[in-house]
Structure 1
């Protein structure tokens, strides 16, 4: 069996958005709940975290996955995130899978308290990318919070879209209206 065909690969790949398959794989291989797929250097929880997979992250945690900073951030668990960051301040600068920064994960939660927990701990990497995560979360409060901290309105995502383009494509009318205004609030 190649590494690409391994249960670990399938679990991590499925954790990017297929909750039913993650459940099936954990039923068959509960010992893999925290496994890392080597070629991607990614765990199932990290996969769920950077894709905004709340249901999958909750399932993994319920099945015994070790909580981590990016998981708590994406889930909007500000108090738990603060505890982790207080215990290990380097986590504020430790990206999740694929080098995705903590602010992006916090913005996916749409929760300003979670963004503040990351920011207060010193997280600054990925501020512009976090703006795109707030758009994915359809969170005006997170969008405004990021703009007030200097996120660039012209920062392009991996599709070459500006935040305004991404909000239009979503479609997310509130985001379009907010990004069309010039004031930071």
Structure 2
């Protein structure tokens, strides 16, 4: 749609935000050439804006997020969750309890961001404090990374849809099999998951 920073071309901002989804080399190169891209936001629609660090957070790209933070990007709660920064999360929720309902780019809730970290205690903390939405996406993220203990906890406690499909149209079981996470695939099958 368009970029929120008018001194930058919309296409350039879009390219940078897309690179933020995991292409660290491209992010570095683009930021060196155009430092003002750091916090530039691309508007996918009127209500859906995204920065490169938000893109990194939603796909679990810790290297890109860490680099952007080092360059001065703000640490939002969803990024902190993806990076497993439990102390930071707890502080923010203590200071403002409604932060438990925070959402990142594309309206993705806090729980799926935390699942990227693989930190079971962080996911449990968020869930026990009210972050109940996004359990199916959290399951997908945990399966993708092969976090067996987190997968088990989510299935047994967070009621995710075991047959939900990710953006590629794949179920958690399909992803587990594709990534050769045999223990996760066996566990999911045992709980009635389908390909």
TM-score over 0.5 for the pair: yes
Structure 1 SS opposite 2:50: coil
Structure with the larger helix share: 1
Preserved contact between residue 107 and residue 137 of structure 1 (Cα < 8 Å): no
- Structure having the larger proportion of residues in strand: 2
The answer for the alignment partner of 1:144 in structure 2 is 152
Unmatched 5+ stretches in structure 1:
none
Which residue of the partner structure matches residue 119 of structure 2? 111
Matched, 1:135 2:143: yes
- Provide the rounded CA distance (Å) in 2 between the counterparts of 1:155 and 1:123: 19
Contact 1:103 1:125 in 2 (8 A): yes
Cα deviation 1:131-173 (Å, max 9, x = unaligned) = 1111112101110111121223233323333221221122322
Give 1:3 shift. Answer: 4.4
CA distance in 2, matches of 1:3, 1:27: 16
Q: Report the TM-score, using the length of structure 1 for normalisation.
A: 0.88
- 1:5 is matched with 11
Partner in structure 2 of residue 31 of structure 1: 36
The question of 1:170 aligning with 2:168 is answered: no
Work out whether residues 78 and 102 of structure 2, in 8 Å CA contact, stay in contact via their aligned partners in 1. Answer: no
Relative distance call for 1:5 and 1:156 in structure 2 (3 A) is: closer
Structure 2, unmatched stretches of 5+, are 1-6
What is the rounded CA distance, in whole Å, between the counterparts of 2:182 and 2:30 in structure 1?
38
Aligned residue for 1:42, secondary structure, equals: strand
RMSD: 2.1
- Aligned residue pairs: how many? 182
Alignment-derived partner of residue 48 in structure 1: 56
**TM superposition score normalised by structure 2:** 0.84
Taking a change above 3 Å as real, the CA distance of residues 21 and 160 of structure 1, as seen in their structure-2 partners, is closer
Residue-by-residue CA offset, 1:76-104 (whole Å, 9 max, x unaligned): 11111111222232222122111211111
CA distance in 2 between partners of 1:159 and 1:24 (Å): 29
> Would the alpha carbon gap of residues 120 and 32 (structure 1) be closer, same or farther in structure 2, given more than 3 Å must change?
farther
